Amino acid sequence: MAIDHNSDMKRHVPAPNEKAVAGIVKHLGIALKSNDAAMVSCSSKDELARVRDSWLKKKLALGDDDKALDAAIKEVCEKMKADKNKSRVVFYYLLAEKFGKLDLLAK
């Protein structure tokens, strides 16, 4: 399954940082091969906690409290609400962009 992450991204970000997109794809690796794992479910509290703990705290090294991180995740859920299937790559990109961490991913 070949997914064009940049075209998915352009629905939300007019000119995405392609190196940052590539960094997210590389980070997610084999998980993107599964349709279920390649998407984020905003209706799953466990899923959103995993995004907060694994992506925001571990990968992006954010030290904000859980309430602030959860608010950012909710904001991205709202921004992507028109997308029936929320691409994990796009979701993670929007979070990284919000926290000014795209350069970290573009290495």
Per CATH, is 16-105 categorized as 1.10.3720.10? no
Residues 6+ apart with CB under 8 A from 52: 66, 69, 70, 73
pLDDT of residue 3: 64
pLDDT of residue 107: 80
Contact 71, 53 (CB under 8 A): no
pLDDT of residue 54: 95
Tokens of 106: 């573009």
Count of alpha carbons within 13 angstroms of residue 89, beta-carbon side:
31
pLDDT of residue 89: 95
Written as tens digits, the pLDDT of the chain (107 aa) is: 456 666 778 889 989 998 999 999 999 998 888 888 899 999 999 999 999 999 999 999 999 999 999 999 999 999 999 988 899 999 999 999 999 999 999 88
